[in-house]
Chains A and B, each alone.
Chain A
Amino acid sequence: MKIGEPEKFIIDGKRLDGRKPGELRKVKIEVGVLKKADGSAYVEWGGNKVLAACYGPREVHPKHLARADRAILRCTYSMAPFSVTDRKRPGPDRRSIEISKVTRQALEPVVFTNLFPRTAIDVFIEILQAQAGTRCTGIVAASMALADAGIPMRNLVPACAAGKVGGEIVLDLSDVEDNFGEADLPVAIVPQKDEVTLIQMDGNFEKGEFEKAFKLAVEGCMKIYEIQKEALKKRYGGA
Chain B
Amino acid sequence: MTRRMVIPGEFITDKKYNLGEGVYREKDGIYSALMGLVDEKENYIRILPLRGKYMPKVGDFVIGNVREIFFNSWELDINSAHNGILNADDYYKEIDTFNEDLLDILAPGSSVFVKIREITHSKKVYVTMRERGARVITGGRLLKIIPTKVPRVIGKQRSMISMIIKETRCNILVGQNGIIWIDGKPEFVNIASRAIRVIEKEAHNPGLTNRIRNMIIKEREEL
Contact = CB atoms under 8 A, between A and B. Distances in A.
A113 interface: no
Interface stretch (B31-39, B87-95, B103-111, B182-190): B31-39
Contacts of A92: none
Contacts of A38: 51, 53
Contacts of A155: 8-9
Given A59-B82, A118-B123, A151-B52, A112 B33 contact: yes
A191 B9 contact: yes
Contacts of B7: 147, 156, 229, 232-233
A150 B148 contact: yes
Interface residues of A, number: 31
Nearest to B11: A192
A116 interface: yes
Name the prevailing secondary structure of the A interface residues. loop
A175 to B, nearest CB: 31
Nearest to B8: A153
Interface of B: 2, 4-5, 7-10, 22, 24, 26, 31, 33-36, 49-53, 55, 81-83, 122-123, 148, 204
Interface of A: 38-39, 56-59, 68, 110, 112, 116-119, 147-156, 191-192, 229, 232-233, 236, 238-239
Given A147-B7, A147-B8, A236-B5, 10 more contacts: A38-B53, A68-B122, A147-B35, A150-B35, A150-B49, A152-B34, A153-B9, A154-B8, A154-B33, A156-B7
